[in-house]
């Protein structure tokens, strides 16, 4: 028996007490299993109907009062027969219902397996499957919007459009090889180059959207560094007061006990080591440098806080050195400009020639809006409109880059009118990169990897 | 009363066209007894249509046939009257050889080879029946009740199965315009359970040389010196003839349109599909109505005949329209038609019913090759013919078949396409059908395939030695080029300037230097010993390997990935209908075609990547179970 013949089941709602909880089942045996455990007994279920009744165990004892949703193949999430059981939300009830399904022949679903089935059965492509996970974990409305666009197939459509164009180019090229004597096959080099340039334009736009898209969807880690008593804690509180986001972390993604999130223009920022900032602020801190080093390594963007009312000391200079060599983006916040300035902006600019330097005072939140703008600007340097379509993860970005890198070579080949066999190889290489992007070619291993990032039951 | 021939043959080949001759010769040369039957013993390897061999992708097939030990390349080398390599201005991957043949000599020479081949009996006969017992082939029965027993039968029936000839609204039965057709054999195939369909093809009228005004046409000469097809031919000795180019015009197109009401295609008399890739002139002017003119090549049919072939004027229009059409063309104003053009419909069996060995899935020991499999072209036919001949012998010996894959040969691409995708319209070879073109060059056919030919006993030792010498020479030259390192000094740089390339700043090997597009291997001998007087084929191969190194590497990587899936074998007993997750269409296709590997399954149209993943998971589970 193959894996795909199994009927799979899982609890689809978060574990914990809620008003309702859902147990989900997909596969050819779904309906017959439902018949065996649902009372009153139904000879036939109608698709897309909801049935009121009870789930019973082997001894016909009632386990729960439920609503049963029936979705028959192919009009379901997985395109197989599906049953969703709306139970009461207690964890014991849900586990009991699930165990009855398993007793009756269903198999426990692996994480992401429902979506995997939707993909394997061709209802969604790889980009859409990825979007499912991203919709679930979206931390801001903006992230959700971008993921929904991807889920609805808009990104796939663009990629398929590019693929079509490439195949057209390929056919021009092939005709030239096989029928060079037919003049209707002689498409001018200029018009071929135009197709290549069009493709390049679209790929370029998509790739430009990538860093922003990835940041919006996956979020950005921000760290606040500076020696003790420069105002790190005040800055943290000021940011949190204004922009605190209510999100929970996905278990296992962070080693920090508590992370706080802020949202700037729909981009989620996770602030690293907030506990550390609070605890050490105001104390004589011996671990300050170590902590800064660690934070800088982990962060996508660092806000370096300085107290300009004091001269730069050794401690500042150590942090400056650390930051100079770091690959992360940086914003300098010159705090306490209300006091006598001992460090001027020019001097800081000498240290950080490319970085925005914001002067401010956290007592009256002077400069805070400017700081937020600069932080956002450092992360989102290509603006993605909410209606626009963006690349949202590293895999997508890397595959697109693979395609993109070949385009100038292809262009050169066409321009030089070289061996058409080589031109075909270039085109096919780009096509296969796009195929990889939308999942036209996949390996089982890659799929396992992909689908294992889903939460159970989706 | 039946007469049974006293001796049982190992291989019986039905039909002595381009497929049949290669099949019969291969089997006989492998030491097995062969019977070759033909409806007309004067028409062995007859060129029913254009008088030429090779062309794009077809030239590749011919050289591969030669490397395996077939006859086609040698035959055209001896009888060709104009040799020309196509696409020479493009890269070596798509270079293709083509030659005009003296069609009469071509046929006569092949007949002589067949007649003098030991182990081979030639008989004129119309085969009515294939004898089968327990789904195993036993022999054939002819129209005069003669029975020949055979352990294998290869059908190479061309256009002869219920052939129906059309000129205008007139039509009659025939295998070619003046020959009998085979009326009963395809019914026998149907009875055996084969799905038999119908295809259409056609040919051009033949014109009288004395009535053609060549002075108003553009002559086209062959290459000097002519470059032979066969790896064993040293030199083409025969005197060469030119072809001529002319064009149709608006008047021609109007005349053709005026005959549509009497065209068997447009009146619906011919219902079967035509050949998309060499369409009739009437199809062309309908499909490309915006095109003002079509090119016509005026090709000689031979040295001892005045017949000329106006290549491009395939037609089944009524004779009055044919005459007017021809005479509307520049240079043909007074042309006399010696033989009219005609269309022909015939029965074929979709090759999806074949294994990759060209044996039918239904009847053991029964093979088919050529137009019966829905292909068009002499070269496609011959390529299948030699493979069917080899594999019939392998079957008779109880050995596993020789199957060339898509990375080894155009022949592999051809047969894989046929048995994987089937044919609903005539199949023609194109270079674009091959994925690994850089590795499948015409010139490398010997390097790719001659070891197979030698092992089969089809390539004799003297030819094989020549091949080994070439191979060794290539390796030695590559090694030598890698050893010679140029130092960046004034003397070197002035020599580099002389050969038209830029100077060097760091030491460079000749191998590296040769990668520069402007550097020709002929000029490198000034830098080192042992590089002078290299044979042209060695120089070509070495240059290619150097100049295309990056891309060759890329293709080799692609081949590795391709092979991975070819090695994942799908057992024939899989019950696809029990697999959930496959659509009904996919289940049906997999069940019908029974792909032998996951790679082949992936090439079936309509088999989605997701279906392949499901098959992969199945294979994994099955292995564990």
Contact B608 A122 (CB under 8 A): yes
Residues of A in contact with B56 (CB under 8 A): 177-178
Question: What is the pTM (predicted TM-score) of this model?
Answer: 0.80
Domain that holds residue A78: 3-121
Interatomic CA distance for residues A6 and A2, integer angstroms: 8
Contact A3 B621 (CB under 8 A): yes
- The residue ranking higher by pLDDT, A443 or A35, is A35
Whether A154 and A115 map to the same domain: the answer is no
Residues of B in contact with A80 (CB under 8 A): 580
Closest CA to A306 of A331, A344, A332: A332
Domain count, chain A: 3
- Delimit the CATH 3.50.50.60 region(s) of chain B: 3-51+69-78+102-201+346-426
Q: What is the DSSP letter of B404?
A: -
In-domain check, residue A327: yes
- Shortest Cα distance, chain B CAs vs residue A37, angstroms: 24
Which positions ≥6 away from B31 have C-beta within 8 Å? Answer: B119, B457
Give me the average pLDDT of each 10-residue run along chain B (625 residues): 95 98 98 98 96 94 98 98 89 89 98 98 97 98 97 98 96 94 97 96 96 96 94 93 96 95 88 72 83 92 96 94 97 97 96 97 98 97 98 97 96 96 87 88 96 97 96 94 90 88 90 88 82 87 91 89 87 85 83 90 81 81 70
What pLDDT is recorded for position A282? 47
**What is the arithmetic mean of pLDDT over A178-201?**
80
Interatomic CA distance for residues B623 and B29, integer angstroms: 42
In-domain check, residue A126: no
Residues of A in contact with B599 (CB under 8 A): none
Whether A333 and A257 map to the same domain: the answer is yes
Whether A210 and A249 map to the same domain: the answer is no
Interatomic CA distance for residues B65 and B73, integer angstroms: 7
- State pLDDT tens for residues A440-456: 765 555 556 556 555 55
**What is the arithmetic mean of pLDDT over A24-36?**
94
Residue A15: is its pLDDT beyond 50? yes
- Shortest Cα distance, chain A CAs vs residue B552, angstroms: 10
- State pLDDT tens for residues A309-345: 888 888 888 888 888 888 888 999 998 888 888 888 8
What pLDDT is recorded for position B249? 95
Whether A199 and A182 map to the same domain: the answer is yes
What fold is seen in the domain B472-556? Arc Repressor Mutant, subunit A (1.10.10)
Query: In terms of CA atoms, which chain B residue is nearest residue A125?
Result: B610
In-domain check, residue A452: no
Cα dist. B25→A452, B35, B215, B401, B514 in Å?
Answer: 59, 10, 44, 17, 43
Per DSSP, the three-state class of B157 is: coil
Query: In terms of CA atoms, which chain A residue is nearest residue B297?
Result: A181
Whether A145 and A86 map to the same domain: the answer is no
Contact A122 B618 (CB under 8 A): no
Whether A21 and A112 map to the same domain: the answer is yes
Residues of B in contact with A447 (CB under 8 A): 613
Closest CA to B556 of B448, B439, B433, B435: B439
Residue A104: is its pLDDT beyond 70? yes
Whether A319 and A243 map to the same domain: the answer is yes
- State pLDDT tens for residues A141-169: 888 888 888 888 888 899 999 998 998 88
- Delimit the CATH 1.10.150.570 region(s) of chain B: 567-624
Cα dist. B134→B138, B349, B364, B393, B572 in Å?
Answer: 10, 21, 9, 20, 20
Q: How confident is the model at residue A287 (pLDDT cuts 50, 70, 90)?
A: low
Q: How confident is the model at residue A255 (pLDDT cuts 50, 70, 90)?
A: very low
Strands A20-26 and A8-11: antiparallel
**Is the CATH number 2.40.30.260 carried by domain B206-344?**
yes
CATH number, position A413? 1.20.120.430
What pLDDT is recorded for position A451? 60
Residue A183: is its pLDDT beyond 60? no
Which positions ≥6 away from A138 have C-beta within 8 Å? Answer: A144, A147, A217
Q: How confident is the model at residue A82 (pLDDT cuts 50, 70, 90)?
A: very high
Find the range with the poorest average confidence among A394-398, A405-409, B138-142, B407-411. Answer: A394-398
What pLDDT is recorded for position A442? 54
CATH number, position A243? 3.40.50.300
Residues of A in contact with B620 (CB under 8 A): 444
Whether A362 and A429 map to the same domain: the answer is no
Class of domain B3-51+69-78+102-201+346-426: alpha beta
In-domain check, residue A450: no
Q: What percent of chain A has pLDDT over 90?
A: 28
- Delimit the CATH 2.40.30.260 region(s) of chain B: 206-344
Interatomic CA distance for residues A40 and A432, integer angstroms: 53
Whether A284 and A427 map to the same domain: the answer is no
Whether A210 and A223 map to the same domain: the answer is no
What pLDDT is recorded for position A188? 85
**In this structure, what token pair is assigned to residue A417?**
């009118």
**What is the arithmetic mean of pLDDT over A181-197?**
78
Q: If you compute the radius of gyration of chain A from its CA atoms, what whole number of angstroms results?
A: 28
Contact A174 B432 (CB under 8 A): yes
Whether A12 and A115 map to the same domain: the answer is yes
In-domain check, residue A179: yes
Last residue of one domain, picked from the residues A103, A121, A139: A121
Long-range contacts of A439-447, Cβ-Cβ distance < 8 Å, separation of 24 or more: A439/A119, A439/A125, A439/A126, A439/A127, A439/A129, A439/B609, A440/A125, A440/B609, A441/B609, A442/A126, A442/B609, A442/B613, A444/B613, A444/B616, A444/B617, A444/B620, A447/A116, A447/A119, A447/B613
Is A340 within 8 Å of A369 (Cβ atoms)?
no
What pLDDT is recorded for position B99? 97
- The residue ranking higher by pLDDT, B66 or A289, is B66
Residue A102: is its pLDDT beyond 90? yes
Residues of A in contact with B432 (CB under 8 A): 174, 177-178, 424
Whether A243 and A350 map to the same domain: the answer is yes
Mutation for B interface: A119, A421, A443, most B CBs within 10 A? A421
Class of domain B567-624: mainly alpha
Contact A2 B581 (CB under 8 A): yes
């Amino acid at each position: 028996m193959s894996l795909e013949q199994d009927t799979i089941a899982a609890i689809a709602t978060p574990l914990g007490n809620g008003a309702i909880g859902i147990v989900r089942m997909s596969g050819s045996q779904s309906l017959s299993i439902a018949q065996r455990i649902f009372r009153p007994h139904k000879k036939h279920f109608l698709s897309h109907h909801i049935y009121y009744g009870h789930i019973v165990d082997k001894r016909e004892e009632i386990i729960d009062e439920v609503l049963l949703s029936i979705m028959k193949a192919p009009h379901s999430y997985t395109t197989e027969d599906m049953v969703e059981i709306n139970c009461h939300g207690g964890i014991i009830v849900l586990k009991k219902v699930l165990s009855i399904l398993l007793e009756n022949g269903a198999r426990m679903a692996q994480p992401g397996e429902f979506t995997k089935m939707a993909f394997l059965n061709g209802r969604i492509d790889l980009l859409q499957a990825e979007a499912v996970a991203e919709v679930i974990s979206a931390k801001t409305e903006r992230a959700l919007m971008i993921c929904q666009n991807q889920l609805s197939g808009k990104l796939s459509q663009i990629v398929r459009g590019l693929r079509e164009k490439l195949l057209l180019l390929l056919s021009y090229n092939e005709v030239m090889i096989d029928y060079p004597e037919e003049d209707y096959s002689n498409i001018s080099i200029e018009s071929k180059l135009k197709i290549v340039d069009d493709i390049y334009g679209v790929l370029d736009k998509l790739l430009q959207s990538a860093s922003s898209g990835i940041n919006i969807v996956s979020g950005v880690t921000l760290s606040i560094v500076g020696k003790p008593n420069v105002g790190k804690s005040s800055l943290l509180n000021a940011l949190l007061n204004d922009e605190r986001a209510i999100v929970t972390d996905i278990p296992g993604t962070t080693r920090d006990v508590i992370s706080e999130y802020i949202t700037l223009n729909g981009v989620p920022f996770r602030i690293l080591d907030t506990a550390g900032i609070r605890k050490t602020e105001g104390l004589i801190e011996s671990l300050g440098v170590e902590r800064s080093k660690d934070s800088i390594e982990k962060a996508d963007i660092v806000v370096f806080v300085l107290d300009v009312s004091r001269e730069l000391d050794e401690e500042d200079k150590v942090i400056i050195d650390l930051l100079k060599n770091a690959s992360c983006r940086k914003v300098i916040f010159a705090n306490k400009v209300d006091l006598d300035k001992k460090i001027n902006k020019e001097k800081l600019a000498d240290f950080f020639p490319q970085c925005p330097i914001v002067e401010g005072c956290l007592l009256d939140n002077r400069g805070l809006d400017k700081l937020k703008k600069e932080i956002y600007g450092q992360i989102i340097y290509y603006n993605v409109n909410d209606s626009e379509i963006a690349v949202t993860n590293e895999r997508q970005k890397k595959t697109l880059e693979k395609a993109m890198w070949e385009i100038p070579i292809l262009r050169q080949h066409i321009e030089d009118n070289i061996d058409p066999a080589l031109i075909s190889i270039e085109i096919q290489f780009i096509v296969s990169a796009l195929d990889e992007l939308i999942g036209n070619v996949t390996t089982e291993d890659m799929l396992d990897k992909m689908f294992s990032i889903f939460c159970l039951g989706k | 009363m039946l007469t049974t021939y006293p001796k049982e043959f190992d291989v019986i080949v039905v039909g002595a066209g381009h497929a049949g001759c290669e099949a019969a010769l291969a089997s006989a040369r492998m030491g097995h007894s062969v019977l070759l039957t033909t409806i007309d013993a004067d028409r062995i390897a007859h060129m029913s249509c254009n008088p030429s061999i090779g062309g794009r992708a077809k030239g590749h097939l011919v050289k591969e046939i030669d490397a395996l030990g077939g006859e086609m390349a040698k035959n055209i080398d001896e009888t060709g009257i104009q040799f020309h390599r196509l696409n020479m201005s493009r890269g070596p991957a798509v270079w293709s050889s083509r030659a005009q043949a003296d069609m009469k000599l071509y046929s006569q020479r092949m007949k002589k080879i067949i007649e003098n081949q030991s182990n081979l009996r030639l008989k004129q006969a119309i085969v009515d029946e294939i004898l089968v017992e327990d789904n195993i082939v036993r022999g054939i029965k002819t129209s005069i009740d003669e029975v020949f027993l055979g352990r294998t039968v290869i059908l190479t029936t061309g256009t002869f199965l219920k052939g129906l000839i059309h000129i205008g609204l007139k039509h009659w039965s025939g295998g070619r315009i003046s020959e009998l057709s085979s009326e009963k054999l395809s019914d026998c195939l149907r009875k055996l359970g084969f799905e038999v369909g119908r295809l259409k093809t056609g040919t051009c009228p033949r014109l009288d040389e004395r009535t053609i005004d060549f002075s108003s046409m553009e002559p086209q000469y062959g290459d000097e010196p002519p470059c032979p097809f066969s790896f064993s031919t040293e030199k083409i000795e025969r005197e060469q003839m030119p072809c001529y180019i002319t064009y149709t015009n608006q008047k021609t197109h109007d005349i053709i349109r005026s005959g549509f009401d009497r065209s068997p295609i447009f009146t619906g008399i011919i219902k079967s599909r035509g050949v998309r890739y060499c369409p009739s002139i009437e199809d062309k002017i309908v499909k490309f109505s915006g095109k003002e003119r079509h090119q016509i090549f005026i090709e000689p049919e031979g040295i001892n005949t005045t017949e000329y072939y106006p290549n491009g004027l395939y037609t089944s229009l009524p004779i009055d329209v044919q005459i007017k059409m021809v005479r509307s063309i520049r240079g043909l104003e007074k042309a006399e038609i010696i033989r009219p053009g005609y269309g022909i419909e015939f029965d074929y069996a979709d090759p999806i019913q074949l294994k990759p060995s060209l044996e039918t899935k239904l009847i053991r020991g029964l093979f088919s090759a050529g137009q019966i499999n829905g292909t068009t072209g002499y070269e496609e036919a011959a390529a299948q013919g030699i493979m069917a001949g080899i594999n019939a012998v392998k079957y008779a010996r109880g050995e596993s078949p020789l199957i060339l894959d898509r990375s080894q040969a155009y022949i592999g691409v051809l047969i894989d396409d046929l048995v994987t995708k089937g044919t609903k319209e005539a199949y023609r070879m194109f270079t674009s059908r091959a994925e690994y073109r850089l590795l499948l060059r015409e010139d490398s056919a010997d390097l790719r395939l001659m070891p197979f030919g030698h092992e089969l006993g089809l390539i004799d030792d003297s030819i094989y030695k020549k091949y080994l010498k070439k191979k060794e020479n290539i390796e030695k030259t590559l090694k030598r080029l890698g050893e010679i390192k140029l130092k960046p000094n004034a003397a070197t740089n002035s020599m580099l300037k002389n050969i038209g390339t830029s100077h060097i700043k760091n030491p460079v090997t000749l191998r590296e230097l040769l990668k520069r597009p402007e550097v020709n291997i002929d000029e490198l001998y000034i830098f080192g010993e042992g590089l002078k007087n290299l044979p042209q084929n060695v120089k070509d191969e070495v240059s290619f390997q150097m100049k295309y190194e990056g891309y060759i590497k890329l293709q080799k990587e692609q081949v590795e990935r391709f092979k991975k899936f070819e090695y994942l074998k799908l057992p024939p007993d899989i019950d696809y209908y029990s697999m959930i997750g496959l659509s009904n269409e996919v289940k049906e296709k997999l069940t019908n075609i029974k792909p032998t590997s996951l790679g082949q399954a992936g090439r079936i149209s309509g088999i989605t990547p997701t279906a392949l993943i499901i098959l992969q998971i199945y294979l994994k589970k099955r292995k564990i179970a």
